[in-house]
Amino acid sequence: MKKKIVTSTFTLVLLLGLGTGVMAATNKIDCKVGDFKEMIPMMQEKYPDLSDKQLKEVHKDCVAKMKKETGTDCKINK
């Protein structure tokens, strides 16, 4: 009886672990950078000292980075 419980517990843990690994590998969370107009409020909050021209350049660089490196986080760096 004890062997059955240990085996069942081990099997359950193994299946949950494998399921989680497969799910993590297949569910890519891509960074979606919206239209510049949609991003302005967030960018102005994060970088209040940048002009609109500088914010547009940061957004342009971010989009270019996303296109080059798919699947990476798009960090808006100053």
Q: What are 32's two structure tokens?
A: 């979606």
The predicted structure's pLDDT at residue 73:
52
pLDDT score, position 7: 93
The two tokens of residue 63 are 């989009």
- Each residue's pLDDT, cut to its tens digit, for the chain (78 residues) gives 889 999 999 898 888 887 777 666 554 444 555 677 878 888 888 888 989 899 888 888 877 777 776 555 555 544
Position 77 scores a pLDDT of: 46
Distance CA 35, CA 59 (A): 9
Other CB atoms within 10 Å distance of the CB of residue 23 = 9
For tokens 């960074």, name the residue.
Answer: 31
Q: Three-class SS of residue 33?
A: coil
Quote the radius of gyration of the chain (alpha carbons, Å). 22
